Amino acid sequence: MKTIKQLAEEIGVTKQALQKRIAREPLHTSLCPCLHTKGNTKYIDVYGENLIKMAFNKDMSTSSIPTSTDKNIDAGIDEGIDKTNSENELYKILKSELESKNNQIAEQQQTINKLMDRLADAQQSEQTAQLLHGGTIQTQLVGNETPPIYTATTTNGGEGLISFKSRVKILFTGKM
């Protein structure tokens, strides 16, 4: 692994030029897994170095393209194998996380279904209570019954309506 400054010197560009090139797409996206930060220093692994060198080789004219040695090719192959292993590990990790998330979603769906059933039961009970109450009121109206709080025996022995003030008094004191 090399620092950005070391890699810039190796390629023959300034550190700032390398940083600007790394920040642009599509190189930035490709390099994200290859960049490692320790403190304030960014390190680039061998695979990332190869990507950067290829990006700078495209920018340079064909006459200045450096030739690879067998050591560089072998290092690239070894790095490719290491990258494949790390990709397999990453795949396994992502697969297990996905399975975990799917299980969580299934559990949440079951909870939602149970709550929906409870809500439907509560609504059914409320509707039944409203119908029962409505039936009671209807019976009272059909039977010409007036609720007892609205009528009272008058002084001359007959029944009559009670005023609002009298009904409030009955509610609070229990007396007429």
What range defines the domain where residue 5 resides?
Answer: 1-66
The mean per-residue pLDDT over the stretch 133-146 comes to 64
Q: Looking at the domain assignment, is residue 19 inside a domain?
A: yes
Q: Looking at the domain assignment, is residue 38 inside a domain?
A: yes
Q: Looking at the domain assignment, is residue 157 inside a domain?
A: no
pLDDT, tens digit (0-9, with 9 covering 90-100), for 14-66: 988 888 888 888 777 888 888 888 888 888 888 888 888 888 776 654 444 44
Q: Looking at the domain assignment, is residue 35 inside a domain?
A: yes
Q: What is the pTM of this model?
A: 0.33
CB-based contact 45:1 (threshold 8 Å):
yes
Q: Looking at the domain assignment, is residue 133 inside a domain?
A: no
Helices 4-11 and 15-23, axial angle in degrees (round to 10): 110
CB-based contact 2:43 (threshold 8 Å):
yes
Q: Looking at the domain assignment, is residue 141 inside a domain?
A: no
Q: Looking at the domain assignment, is residue 5 inside a domain?
A: yes
CB-based contact 3:41 (threshold 8 Å):
yes
What's the pLDDT at 63?
40
Largest CA distance in the chain: 125
Q: Looking at the domain assignment, is residue 168 inside a domain?
A: no
20-46: b or e for each residue (b if 16 or more CB lie within 10 Å)? ebbeeeebeebbeebeeeeeeebbbbb
Distance separating alpha carbons of residues 92 and 111, to the nearest angstrom: 29
Q: How many domains does the chain have?
A: 1
149-173: b or e for each residue (b if 16 or more CB lie within 10 Å)? eeeeeeeeeeeeebeeeeeeeeeee
